[in-house]
Chains A and B, each alone.
Chain A
Amino acid sequence: MISIAGLELTYHTAGTSHAALRGVTIEVGQGDFLALLGPSGCGKTTLLRCVAGLATPDRGRIAIGGETVFSSQEGIEVPARLRDIGMVFQSYAIWPHMTVAQNAAFPLRYRGGTKKAEIRERTLEILRLVHLEALADRPAPALSGGQQQRLALARALIAQPKVLLLDEPLSNLDARLREEMRFELRELTRRLSVTTIFVTHEQAEALSLADMVAVMNEGALVQVASPRDLYNRPQIEFVARFVGRANLVPAEVVAANGAASPARVCVATPFGEVECFTTVPRRAGERATLAVQPEAFEVLVAAASEPGVRGTVEGAAFLGDAVECIVRTGDAMLITKLPSSAAPSVGESVTVRITSRTCMLLN
């Protein structure tokens, strides 16, 4: 549905230049929900604005539904208003001088030549979908934050665009509302089977919402994967740190693997020999970094005789169902996550080892 190839964009301001996009290439299938995840300034919003037609790349090609909307080579640039998209902005951009219904109906008046009588009908229909029907004739500024967010969503969807673009739509909501809206958003896009690109800097949001997550760093896509793979099988250090708060453990390959990808490989670590995954061929004796998720550790209290690394609990944060323990082992600090029932207390001596066989050897 959306095909992006070789997108590059450099901003020049006051003598300095900043590469916002470096050769971004990605395909998004019909009905897919793609999350663009990355720290602020990584270029994710720029990429979204390029798809929307609000920013112009220097090079590359963008096609939506088979139609080329931007191509530096062919000199094509379809303006935003003629692209088949809907968009929810970070600020929601609700027009304060209009009513709720007027806001929602705006795209219908300019897109698709809808008849006047039909406009009202379809407006109420879309407002019903986001539970704002009763407020249709209220002035828009009278809405609460969550309601404004839903109105922005209604406005983006009313003209039944092929593509829905969401720019950090949940970041201005408080925590409880955010959970609620996250669920609603997923439900709605699934029901309408609209292809969606969602920009966020919060990994929990990306992992819980998306079919596919594209992690960006410094203008480049560094890994595109399903949420599960991204969390369990980060390929590089940046992803391991940004997505899962993984611990990075030095490792040495014990036995070489075959050509299959991902392949299993055995590595030696301070925690003993660990079986893990790798996506590239490894030679025996090769040094690499192992990403170990906090819950992949086993932390044993008063078990000095057990194999593993000795350490001290430096801090513990109660999370409800689990406890996050910071364990000092020599110079290193490990983040571990344990069930509440088995948690040691601060200051206790513990033995740490890796029980999981699904850790990822980073490239």
Chain B
Amino acid sequence: MDADRSFVAVAGTLAAGGATLILCLLAILLLQSFAGDGWQWTWTSNYVGAFTEPQTYRVLWNSIELAVIATALAFFFGLPIAWLVERTNLRGKATVVAVMLVSILVPGFASAMGWLFLLHPKIGLFHLFNVVSVAGMGVIMGFQLAPVAFLMTGSVLRAMDRQLEEAAFTAGAPPLETIRRVVLPLARPALVSAAIYVFIIAFGTFDVPAIIGWSNRIFTFSTYIFLQTNPQAGLPDYGRAGALSVAVLIAALALTVWTRYLSLDAQRYAVVTGKAYQPRLLSLGRWTYVAYAFVAFYLVAGIILPLAVVVWESFLPFVQAPSPAAFSHLTMANYAALGGDAFFSSLANSVILMTLVPLIVLVFSFAFTWIGFRTRFRGRTLLDGIAFLPHAVPSVIMAVGVIIFSLYFLKYVVNIYGTIWIMVFAFAATWISYGTRMTNASLLQLHRELEESAAIGGASTWAIVREIVLPLMSRGLLLAWIYLVILSGRELTLSVMLTTPGNTTVPAFVWTNWLTGGLTRGAAVTICYLLCLSPLIVGYSYLMNRTKQSPAL
């Protein structure tokens, strides 16, 4: 076959195959929601069963309450910090940005542990408020999601034409008035989209309710689905889980579609002029210290303190506050216990995931991007949309889809349930949305003529991709790759949903320890693991600083 066609054929097959798999996962979920055990069609009975039970409403209400509190708090911290970085003369902005971005990569279960050690009503260090409650979990999620809110609002502010603000300044409006009457109304559509995105993440979150709510039987959507598929007694109820998932999925998709409309609207407002000029930065004056205090409070209370407590507890045989007595109990026993096979086999599994998943995701993402932006196929926009779908789907729902798919369909070809491959499959399917966002952005930065001049120079599409496109995308790809490696390493939801004794990952191992009462042992595993991941995190933030890029959210 002709060299140009063969490339398009390979990329097209990968993209179409990937899109088909994603659609299959969601379609199977839908089918399952209409079927009972052994695939007998029971139609609405799963839905009736799910929505006549009061527990369902309590769980959904818990999730909504958690998500509302989390979203509000995330923006309470994220929005002002983004504004300080983008619009004022605050010093040390680069550090603030780096720390905020790195904190996105801290596993949610790690800081959730810290919060529990800090604020548990019985064993906690402080008794400020009861963290073992829906509101408490909402607050924790708020702290965890603040960097996401920061990143999204930061890009909104950056994209806004500052001349609009300067016009208000020159018209004599004081700064706060400018924010209220010019900045916020202009940024509203984009801010609402960002808020909905954060809300969906918080709604579907697993780490915090799993670490904090589970043992106290406070369920949210994700942990409830987990309960349906891993009941303490009886068989997994995939029909019920499917019905609940489909209901939430439809709501999440509707919200996401709406945000896409909103962001179209936002493009109308947020004009990027492309003119390079030095905009006037607001001088903070005496307010500098207030600003520093605000940022410092967030960083210390939200990120440093919880992790520090995890470190402290990891050296203790049981959870206790710092005291002379506690110091005498300090021990390396938890770390020594890690020498066992269980930790190393889970570490080996995590390493496999961290090696394979980013590679697979990037290969597929590049295929999607190429078909979307370098060919004129009908339906290429649809392909891009399908690759974006998992973005709106809580991981726990993806996991249910993968389980049903591999248990009832894929097993006729190859049985991956209970092996590491089911995790590879689920991780890759979930993160194809991240991957395509990043490869899209990276390819769009390349001027078309760079490729065209290579074609004029006689190079086939394979040669153009090898010699021009990939080398020029290399920084963006490397950044995406490290991001995906870290995501693969820290992912708890998918791990726990898909784990069986044969394919435990480190996050799942932490969770098992935690459930079986080894709180401080869980802490030690977490700290060990964070140390393993830290070179990647440091490398990531270094590279991000160099390339002035940030992860696609």
Partner pick for A107 among B449, B452, B457, B467, CB 8 A cutoff: B457
Complex Cα gap A131–B61 (Å) = 74
Partner pick for A81 among B450, B460, B467, B472, CB 8 A cutoff: B460
Closest to A97 in B: B471
A106 close to B459 (CB less than 8 A): yes
Complex Cα gap A159–B468 (Å) = 19
B447 close to A93 (CB less than 8 A): yes
Partner pick for B4 among A79, A106, A152, CB 8 A cutoff: A79
- Which residues of A in the span 47-99 have a Cβ within 8 Å of any Cβ on B? 52-54, 79-82, 85-87, 89-91, 93, 95-97
A85 close to B472 (CB less than 8 A): no
A91 close to B458 (CB less than 8 A): no
Nearest CB of chain A from residue B80's CB, rounded to whole Å: 38
Complex Cα gap A87–B449 (Å) = 11
Given contacts A81-B459, A96-B472, contact A106 B454 (CB under 8 A): yes
Residues on A with beta carbons closer than 8 Å to the beta carbon of B456: 52, 54, 80-81, 85-87, 107, 156
Pull 18 A–B residue pairs with CB atoms less than 8 Å apart, ordered by A. Answer: A53-B455, A54-B455, A81-B457, A81-B459, A82-B458, A87-B452, A89-B449, A93-B447, A93-B452, A95-B454, A95-B468, A96-B472, A107-B457, A107-B458, A109-B458, A110-B460, A111-B457, A159-B457
Interface centre among B456, B468, B472 (most CB of A within 10 A): B456
B458 close to A110 (CB less than 8 A): yes
- Which residues of B in the span 461-500 have a Cβ within 8 Å of any Cβ on A? 463, 467-468, 471-472
Complex Cα gap A152–B447 (Å) = 15
Residues on B with beta carbons closer than 8 Å to the beta carbon of A97: 471-472
A81 close to B449 (CB less than 8 A): no
A93 close to B460 (CB less than 8 A): no
Residues on A with beta carbons closer than 8 Å to the beta carbon of B458: 81-82, 107, 109-111, 159
B455 close to A91 (CB less than 8 A): no
- Which residues of B in the span 157-183 have a Cβ within 8 Å of any Cβ on A? none
B55: interface (CB < 8 Å): no
Residues on B with beta carbons closer than 8 Å to the beta carbon of A111: 457-458
B457 close to A79 (CB less than 8 A): no
B residues lining the A interface (CB < 8 Å)? 4, 447, 449-450, 452-460, 463, 467-468, 471-472
Complex Cα gap A80–B450 (Å) = 14
- Which residues of A in the span 97-147 have a Cβ within 8 Å of any Cβ on B? 97, 106-107, 109-111
B459 close to A89 (CB less than 8 A): no
Q: Give the A-B pair count, Cβ closer than 8 A.
A: 63
Complex Cα gap A107–B468 (Å) = 13
Complex Cα gap A340–B453 (Å) = 47
A residues lining the B interface (CB < 8 Å)? 52-54, 79-82, 85-87, 89-91, 93, 95-97, 106-107, 109-111, 152, 155-156, 159
Nearest CB of chain A from residue B77's CB, rounded to whole Å: 39
A54 close to B463 (CB less than 8 A): no
Nearest CB of chain B from residue A76's CB, rounded to whole Å: 14
Residues on A with beta carbons closer than 8 Å to the beta carbon of B447: 91, 93
Nearest CB of chain A from residue B497's CB, rounded to whole Å: 42
Complex Cα gap A109–B450 (Å) = 17
Interface centre among B452, B453, B455 (most CB of A within 10 A): B453
Complex Cα gap A79–B455 (Å) = 8
Given contacts A81-B457, A155-B457, contact A110 B463 (CB under 8 A): yes
Residues on B with beta carbons closer than 8 Å to the beta carbon of A89: 449, 452-453
A80 close to B468 (CB less than 8 A): no
Sorted from nearest, which 3 A-B pairs have the closest CB atoms?
A110-B458, A93-B449, A111-B458
Nearest CB of chain B from residue A70's CB, rounded to whole Å: 15
Residues on A with beta carbons closer than 8 Å to the beta carbon of B454: 95, 106
Residues on B with beta carbons closer than 8 Å to the beta carbon of A91: 447, 449
Nearest CB of chain B from residue A101's CB, rounded to whole Å: 14
Complex Cα gap A81–B467 (Å) = 15
Residues on A with beta carbons closer than 8 Å to the beta carbon of B472: 95-97
Closest to B468 in A: A95
B450 close to A93 (CB less than 8 A): yes
- 20 extra A-B contacts, CB within 8 A, seeds A52-B456, A81-B458, A87-B452: A52-B452, A53-B455, A79-B455, A81-B455, A81-B456, A81-B459, A82-B458, A85-B456, A86-B456, A95-B450, A95-B472, A97-B471, A106-B457, A106-B467, A107-B457, A107-B458, A109-B458, A110-B457, A111-B458, A155-B453
Residues on B with beta carbons closer than 8 Å to the beta carbon of A90: 449
Interface centre among B449, B459, B460, B468 (most CB of A within 10 A): B449
Nearest CB of chain B from residue A243's CB, rounded to whole Å: 28
Residues on A with beta carbons closer than 8 Å to the beta carbon of B455: 53-54, 79-81
Nearest CB of chain B from residue A88's CB, rounded to whole Å: 9
Closest to B455 in A: A80
Residues on A with beta carbons closer than 8 Å to the beta carbon of B4: 79
Nearest CB of chain A from residue B90's CB, rounded to whole Å: 33
Nearest CB of chain A from residue B446's CB, rounded to whole Å: 10
